[in-house]
Chains A and B, each alone.
Chain A
Amino acid sequence: MKNTGKLKATLLAIALLLSSSTALADGNFWQWLVTFSRQKEVQPVTNKAYQEECGSCHFAYPPGLLPGKSWAKLLEDKGLNDHFGENASLDADTLKEIRDYAMENAAEKSNFKRSRKIALATEEGDAPLRITEVRYIKRKHHDIPEKMIKGNKDVKSRSYCNACHTKAEKGIFDNDTVSIPNYPDYD
């Protein structure tokens, strides 16, 4: 009788271990739960090829700024041949590495707060091709006067995140880190 009890306890322990490891594989929920830094922002780019290839023409947007369905469209096999009007073609191996990285770290795969919000905002409807088309991003920027963006020779467009977001490279986009060129007093 005693032995059966022990056996049951062992089985239960194994079952618990198995189920928690499955949960870990399912999007790192537990890992997220025990982190002290609540991963408030967006995961910065950690892949060298992604950083170098995307970053050689523009700010290397962290993959957590768009959902996977957007990255799938942007980075499909011939997708980069016409990348917003530019030829940004890559060899097949590099493209695959970059696409895999983007898909694995897309908004809905991330536990970072802003990515969760972007995932939520893009859950329904067509995949946005521009980060500036994401509802959450639009809402966050809508009250900034156009003269400070389009009319600002040192900004020009919302696409240039790092023109104002001084810590964009680190995945940090909160208000305290914003500095609009030529408008030092804007809050």
Chain B
Amino acid sequence: MKNLFTVMALIGALFAASAASATPATNTLFAKYKAAGASGFSAERGQKVWTKELLSESGEMMSCTTCHGKDLGKEGKHHKTGKLIKPMAPSANAERFTDAKKIEKWFKRNCNDVLGRECTAQEKGDILTFLLSQ
């Protein structure tokens, strides 16, 4: 009986952990990044890339937060068009990270705009881990 309880508690914990983060879309992407040689994704490293400021081609200091804002639970604002960007944190916006194609599209565009190059599989896995934890 005690064993059964332990097993149930473990299953419960697993569900709780997965509900807090991954979606089928992100699971697909994590598998893809691993296949490309990345491993051991870290939210901490992800946050560092996310907040790193770099001089952009247009001469302004840019990071992901330039448009997405410092508080991921709130709306961001496109630095040029002023278009509002829905919150990045899945806790504030349930639609986030549910479409793998969309995630890859924005990684490609925004890494190019902020870093001046595409992100590596490792960086994308780290950033995604960081964002999913929000």
Q: List chain A positions with a Cβ less than 8 A from chain B.
A: 56-58, 81, 84-91, 156, 159-160
DSSP class of A's interface residues: helix, strand, loop or mixed? loop
Chain B residue, CB-CB nearest to A84: B80
> Contact between B81 and A87 (Cβ–Cβ < 8 Å)?
no
Please state if B105 and A57 are interface contacts (CB–CB under 8 Å).
Answer: no
For window 37-92 of chain B, which residues contact chain A by CB distance below 8 Å? 57-58, 78, 80-83
Q: Distance (Å) between the CB of A45 and the closest chain B CB?
A: 16
List chain B residues, Cβ under 8 A from A58.
78, 81, 83
The 7 closest A-B pairs by CB, nearest first: A87-B112, A58-B81, A87-B109, A87-B113, A57-B81, A85-B58, A57-B83
Q: How far apart are the CA atoms of A87 and B112 in the complex, in Å?
A: 7
Residues of the A chain whose Cβ atoms lie less than 8 Å from the Cβ of B82: 156, 160
Contact of A86 among B101, B105, B108, B109 (CB under 8 A): B109
A159–B110 CA distance with the chains assembled, in angstroms: 22
Taking the closest CB of chain B, its distance from the CB of A150, in whole angstroms, is 13
Contact indicator A87/B108 (Cβ below 8 Å): yes
B78 touches A89 (CB 8 A): no
Residues of A within 8 A of B57 (CB): 85
Query: Could you list 11 further interchain pairs (A-B, Cβ under 8 angstroms) beyond the known A57-B83, A58-B83, A160-B82?
Result: A84-B80, A85-B57, A85-B58, A86-B80, A86-B113, A87-B109, A87-B112, A87-B113, A89-B112, A91-B101, A159-B81
Task: List B82-134 residues whose CB lies under 8 Å from chain A.
Answer: 82-83, 101, 105, 108-110, 112-113
Are A89 and B81 closer than 8 Å at their CB atoms?
A: no
A89 to chain B, nearest CB (A): 6
- What would be 28 A-B contacts, judged by CB atoms less than 8 Å apart? A57-B78, A57-B81, A57-B83, A58-B81, A58-B83, A81-B112, A84-B80, A85-B57, A85-B58, A85-B80, A86-B80, A86-B109, A86-B113, A87-B108, A87-B109, A87-B110, A87-B112, A87-B113, A88-B109, A89-B105, A89-B108, A89-B109, A89-B112, A90-B105, A156-B82, A159-B81, A160-B81, A160-B82
Q: Closest approach, in angstroms, between the C-beta of A3 and any C-beta of chain B?
A: 66
Which of B78, B81, B105 lies in contact with A91, CB distance below 8 A?
Answer: B105
